[in-house]
Amino acid sequence: MTRYLQAAVQLLGPVALVVAVGLMSTTVSDANKIYFLSALVSVAIVVSIYVFVGNSGVLSFGQISFVAVGAFAAGVMTVPLESKKGVLTELFPLLRDHTIGNVPSLLLAAALGGVFALIVGLPLMRLSGLAAGIATFALLEITHNVLQQWTKIGPGATTLSLVPDTTGALQATVGAVIAIAVALAYQWSRLGRQLRASREDPAAARAIGVHVHRQRLWAFVLSGALAGFAGALYVHLLGSITTEQVYLELTFLTLAMLVVGGLNSLWGAVVGALVVSGLDSFLGEAEQGVDVGFNVDLPTGTRLVILAAIMAVVLVLRPSGLTGGREVRLPRIGRRRNAAPAQAEG
Amino acid sequence: MILASLGFQTISDAVASGAIYALMAVGIGLVFGVLRLVNFAYGQLVMAGAYTLAFTSTWPVAASIATCFAVVVALSLAMEVSVFRPLRDQSPAVMLVTTFAIAFLLQAIALIVDLRNDTLGEVVFSSIGSLNEAVTVGGVNIRKVTIVAVGVAAFSLLVIALLLGRTTIGLHTRAAANDFRTARLLGVRANRVITFAVVVSGLLAAAVAVLLVVANPLVTPEFALHDTIIVLVGVVVGGIDRLWTATLGGFAIGFASGIINGLLPTDQSVYLPSVLFGAVILVLLLRPGGLFAWGRPTSVERV
């Protein structure tokens, strides 16, 4: 019974947080609404990264590639037909002459992200440690380079605009909840547990019959699909996008969110995404000058200084993040700490 | 032959950029050897040096260069003490993310410092820039900086080779790079060896800063960022486990990109990054120890 209760708490904790942020976004002014919605989209992106990095323990700088692919696929396919023929003239005819709706574009982005992850993951998942970090970074560079130059599949180096901004409070909240639910379902599944075992001890996991390469590949593909989906949410939130927006800075920000929250738990990913993106929004406003009792006006660039400093400090002092790598748990009422080691894990 | 048709200018420029990249490769490779840490923030050390040169442009050249060396070495040591030392026992992945954060931190600080006068970028206008002029040697024009770069690189590599091969601290460093735990058991002091590596890599970063501002006197927060990424690629492709293969990789990629830039018109080299990074992935998969690493076990794990 306690097990099911803990499981329910693990799911409901992050979901409640996300829904609360979604509800809050409907009460604030239109100018501030974007901050709440982008926090929710950040949750979706960070959860997608967590599915691979958190469960496998393999570092990847490349997950934003899938966000980029999802964002541009969903963006290009939803620009209204009449404007598309005028603006994106160099597209392949198939892409130029068709336009799909909002929900199909989300699904398309997820599917493309997953397929792309499968293709690159097949060879890349053989690597681990440092080599994996460098190779996934190379993947990000290649994706960025191709998206920026190949005008037959997208806008190239120019801004893709006129994307319908369908990511409102409802779509952002539901999107984040879907990402969380999928991530938890995977984490509880047989596959997820095998991968987490290999994270703790690759040799022991292999000895009990875990196929490490295959398990990592599954997580990579799922992560790619969720990242593509999150990218579609992102482009529908912004309404316009350039390749620079889904490149190094977003990679850095989302990694900061994951690291600050705690790499090893979904709760950490969600908390980190909300905390860091809240801070990011506040600092972004403060660079323009904001009134919080007294006037705060920071010089341009302070935002990144503070975020980078927080990330470095958390990594140095508390490498397991704010949540310490734990999932949400019910507070233990009436039980002494360390009372029963057997019950320590729910 | 293709090389002959290129013209001497292109080849000498390619050699110069190869020499500069080789210096950066040594700086990255030395720190990797003792700490097992790929320093993403290495380019930001060079950037800090370049800013120092820009801010001290009105000083005598020698004083300006000396300040640049002092600032970069101090920053390099500060990075070691405040970040690398506490993280020494963490996994390579955590250290990699941390240097990523430090790189962003330094770049953002540079942006704030730079934007005080509301224009992006500071110009180095001291007489270092005169190195960009050409001299005629035997009927062909060579930019002075090419000669200086090759000279500095050759000199630095020689000194480092002597340091590593002929001194006690060099012996300790090589032992630590080979097997840190055993070296410590045998009496090698970790902090001394690491400080040595960090200081030498800082000196190299400062030298690179001086050489890079000659060709590119406009210093921005993204100064040397692109070069560092290219050098990292070269180091991994060459073989990061050993200093000489890493250096060779750095030189090769600098030389190759110089030649390719001279060969291809700009509109055809747009996919060059993809080709380069594709090559990195291929090398990591097929020869995880690096192109030039023969007959040694490697530290790169595979599953």
DSSP letter, residue A342: G
pLDDT of amino acid A84: 81
CB-based contact, A309 to chain B, within 8 Å: yes
Contact call for residues A212 and A198 (beta carbons, < 8 A): yes
Number of domains in chain A: 1
Reduced to 3 states (helix: H, G, I; strand: E, B; else coil), residue B300 is: coil
- Once rounded to an integer, what is the mean pLDDT over residues A31-47? 92
Reduced to 3 states (helix: H, G, I; strand: E, B; else coil), residue A127 is: strand
- Once rounded to an integer, what is the mean pLDDT over residues A120-130? 87
Nearest residue of chain B to residue A214 (CA atoms): B303
Enumerate residues 48 to 87 of chain B having a beta carbon within 8 A of any beta carbon in chain A.
Answer: 82-83, 86-87
pLDDT of amino acid A316: 83
Asked if residue A194 is part of any domain, the answer here is yes
pLDDT of amino acid B129: 66
Asked if residue B294 is part of any domain, the answer here is no
**Could you report the per-residue pLDDT of B278-287, keeping only the tens digit for each?**
888 888 888 8
Residues of chain B with pLDDT under 50: 1, 300-303
Nearest residue, CB atoms, A311 vs list B101, B115, B301: B101
Asked if residue B154 is part of any domain, the answer here is yes
Which residue's entry shows tokens 């982008």?
A: A38
Average pLDDT value for chain A: 87
**Could you report the per-residue pLDDT of A254-304, keeping only the tens digit for each?**
988 888 888 889 999 999 999 999 988 888 888 777 766 666 677 777 888
- Once rounded to an integer, what is the mean pLDDT over residues A56-69? 93
Please give the model's pTM, rounded to 2 decimal places: 0.85
The more confident residue out of A20 and A322 is: A20
pLDDT of amino acid A28: 86
Judge whether residue A341 has pLDDT over 50: no
pLDDT of amino acid B295: 55
pLDDT of amino acid A87: 79
Number of domains in chain B: 1
pLDDT of amino acid A340: 44
Q: Between vectors from CA A194 to CA A191 and to CA A196, what angle results, nearest 5°?
A: 110
pLDDT of amino acid B180: 81
pLDDT of amino acid A143: 95
Torsion sign, CA atoms B172, B175, B177, B179: negative
Which token pair is A179? 């990402």
**Could you report the per-residue pLDDT of A216-254, keeping only the tens digit for each?**
999 999 999 999 999 999 999 999 999 999 998 899 889
- Give the helix/strand (H/E) hosting B137: strand B134-137
CB-based contact, B92 to chain A, within 8 Å: yes
In chain A, what is the straight-line distance between the N-terminal and C-terminal CA atoms, in Å? 10
Strands (DSSP E) contained in chain A are: 290-292, 294-296
Asked if residue B289 is part of any domain, the answer here is no
Tell me the chain B residues in contact with residue A123 when contact means C-beta distances shorter than 8 Å.
281, 285
pLDDT of amino acid A53: 93
- Once rounded to an integer, what is the mean pLDDT over residues A2-20? 88
- The candidate with the shortest Cα–Cα distance to A48, out of A232, A241, A190, is A232
Return d(Cα A263, Cα A243) in angstroms, integer: 27
Predicted confidence band of residue A154 (pLDDT cuts 50, 70, 90): confident
Domain that holds residue A154: 2-244
Judge whether residue A339 has pLDDT over 50: no
Asked if residue A287 is part of any domain, the answer here is no
Tell me the chain A residues in contact with residue B240 when contact means C-beta distances shorter than 8 Å.
130
CB-based contact, B185 to chain A, within 8 Å: no
Domain that holds residue B183: 8-224
